[in-house]
Amino acid sequence: MARVPSSVIAAGGLVGGYGVARWTKQRPLGGAVLAVAGAAAAQQWRQRAGGKAAGALSAAYVAAFAASHPLAKKVGAWPSVLGVAGAVALASWAVADRRG
- 86 CB contacts (<8 Å, ≥6 apart)? 11
Q: How far apart are CA 63 and CA 71, in angstroms?
A: 12
Residue type, 35: A
pTM, rounded to two decimals: 0.94
Render pLDDT for 43-74 as a digit per residue (tens, 0 to 9).
999 999 999 999 999 999 999 999 999 999 99
Could you tell me if 96 and 57 are in contact, meaning their C-beta atoms sit under 8 angstroms apart?
A: yes
- 23 CB contacts (<8 Å, ≥6 apart)? none
**Stronger pLDDT, 99 or 91, i.e. the higher one:** 91
Across the chain, where does the E strand assignment appear? none
Q: What is the pLDDT of residue 2?
A: 55
Q: Assess whether pLDDT exceeds 80 at residue 99.
A: no
Q: How far apart are CA 7 and CA 18, in angstroms?
A: 17
Confidence band for 1, pLDDT divided at 50, 70 and 90: very low
